[in-house]
Structure 1
């Protein structure tokens, strides 16, 4: 059984300035330690990770040495791999940025990080656009909208994602207060950027309250979103199925219900293509692949769309794959992962632990993939 890969970064100095009355920890962590203040970031991270203990057999963490994550994961019995090395002395912002780069290079599905606004700034300066992250609040001040409301909420949201709950992607602001000015009685906050964070959606409850989700309306919304974001000279490969056929109809395009079609600059340039034709169209050309899930079963690759072969997938790139599915369709999976069966075991293993699902107008979900 495949494991879900999570990144973990702990800023062991986060929160030290609070008990010392320093209004923050930036630049004063060593002074706080000298006063006998005990670090709390690991304990708050432990609270979050306790929510994952019941499913730890299906998890594999990647982290940095010692107090940046490895010590705690070893204590709690989580399978983990240690990347990189920390420099002598207390951990630094440079260590955090180096950890982010290493975790992204390793392809983790989600980066959990414990700290405060200063840590969020360091994460923001190194993270790639679209990489999901989630903060475990451990700092003195939490102005940024990238943290869960408390450590347990961070753990529960992560578990929900891993177990196939419907988790929406959102954009969270990174803000930080000038601590030097704050110590002089001046409150000055600054915007440093935005991070992609998972967000509790409560989608199943909303569908029940509102009656039955209308797939027709959802597809119309998705078509409006896609039409406003067509990339010029990029070839969009539409897989088979009623969901994508309906999406194309809402775009005013005629595609084949059970075939694979290619669209470029708002026009269908190839209908019902074979595997060989499709490879020729995408090899060496910018392309995006849209597929849907088989309702109740969950296959996105390898069932009814064998034209999308391993060499086609490699030519397009797994990072350019998007699943189109309504929340109602995903709910029929009852938490089971989406499935891939390309016929190439190495390629299947290379699929990310989670894929992005387009589920509505400007609405992207993260959903796990089983291999």
Structure 2
């Protein structure tokens, strides 16, 4: 893997089992209720897995209890690059650790905590003007962000083996409101994370909807790029977000704010393609076909000249399980099989297998 900076928030999650719904400002009360630290054991599970998969990984960390102890227990000889400022660790210690990791040129910041810790890490990376990916080992009460592995062991697998990165959301909630029974999430940052199926989906309220994914496509359109927009209600929401009423069952071609051709045939699409082209399409509900059902205008000749943006609601993907293609060209079908990132929100994507 290379070099990983590991920072543990040792108090993360202590308030959960004792009914405090979080630990922010409640550490003493959590201890009075008999709370035990949860983060070290979860950090150890992730580091054990990294040691199994990639024992040569160089681990940088802060002095115990912010990572050194569990790293040694997992079999590493970590390089300790700093220590907490006081007896009790604080968010400032997390931020200082991440700053040091960035200075040391780590390949990944692996943090152990919840959404509050995720915000500290994300904001420090952003302030450092860095593009270093981050990944969370879930240990907090609040885990609403899509930057965490689904389990500590999964986080270790991802950290040891990832090759590509993608963008994901860091969300947080107000713990006082949460304790009163109200959950209001707030998008706090968009960061680079390892691309992996074992990362949890974002729990941002109102996110992952057709409207939010349409907004995501619209906000990323580029000047001079030709967009070939397929049929269906999901892509229809994208067309509406771009400012026009599209052909519900047809393919529309759009560039720089103008509909070049509506309800286009294959020939018309080919005639209007430019130097850079993007197909936006949604799989057929109940069947999972990305190409070859209801959008035959998107022929192999068209597909081969375009990048691909597949969009779908989370509920549709949950029902489908896998995706399919039937372009009429076996070689192209083979090329399209494998794992594909499907946009399900403004920034969030889900890995789906094309079979």
TM-score range (shorter-chain normalised) is: 0.5 to 0.7
157, 160, 178: which one pairs with 1:182? 178
* 2:151 match: 150
Q: Residues 9 and 93 from structure 1, CA distance in 2 versus in 1: closer, same or farther, beyond 3 angstroms? A: same
* 2:252 match: none
* CA displacement, residues 298-349 of structure 1 (integer Å, 9 cap, x when unaligned): xxxxxxxxxxxxxxxxxxxxxxxxxxxxxx9xx9xxxxxxxxxxxxxxxxxx
* 1:92 match: 90
Question: CA separation in 1, counterparts of 2:60 and 2:189?
Answer: 25
**Aligned runs of 1:1-371 on 2, under 5 Å?**
4-55=2-53, 57-128=55-126, 129-161=130-162, 167-200=163-196
Residues 168 and 201 in structure 1, CA contact (< 8 A), matched pair in contact too: no
- The aligned length equals 208
Q: Residues 227 and 86 from structure 1, CA distance in 2 versus in 1: closer, same or farther, beyond 3 angstroms? A: farther
Residues 44 and 73 in structure 2, CA contact (< 8 A), matched pair in contact too: no
Question: CA separation in 1, counterparts of 2:108 and 2:75?
Answer: 20
Task: Provide TM-score, normalisation by structure 1.
Answer: 0.52
Q: Which runs of no fewer than 5 residues in structure 1 stay unpaired?
A: 162-166, 203-223, 229-249, 253-327, 332-361, 363-371
Residues 59 and 79 in structure 1, CA contact (< 8 A), matched pair in contact too: no
SS in 2 for 1:61: strand
Question: CA separation in 2, counterparts of 1:148 and 1:4?
Answer: 19
Residues 54 and 160 in structure 2, CA contact (< 8 A), matched pair in contact too: no
Residues 22 and 142 in structure 2, CA contact (< 8 A), matched pair in contact too: yes
Residues 42 and 152 in structure 2, CA contact (< 8 A), matched pair in contact too: yes
Deviation of residue 51 (structure 1)? 1.3
**Cα root mean square deviation, aligned:** 2.8
Question: CA separation in 2, counterparts of 1:170 and 1:34?
Answer: 41
Question: CA separation in 1, counterparts of 2:197 and 2:113?
Answer: 24
SS in 2 for 1:68: coil
Question: CA separation in 2, counterparts of 1:70 and 1:226?
Answer: 49
* CA displacement, residues 172-193 of structure 1 (integer Å, 9 cap, x when unaligned): 1111111111222222221111
Deviation of residue 88 (structure 1)? 1.5
Q: Which runs of no fewer than 5 residues in structure 2 stay unpaired?
A: 199-220, 226-273, 277-334, 339-346, 348-355
Deviation of residue 227 (structure 1)? 8.0
* CA displacement, residues 45-66 of structure 1 (integer Å, 9 cap, x when unaligned): 1111121223554111000111
Q: Residues 226 and 52 from structure 1, CA distance in 2 versus in 1: closer, same or farther, beyond 3 angstroms? A: farther
Deviation of residue 169 (structure 1)? 1.3
Question: CA separation in 2, counterparts of 1:57 and 1:51?
Answer: 9
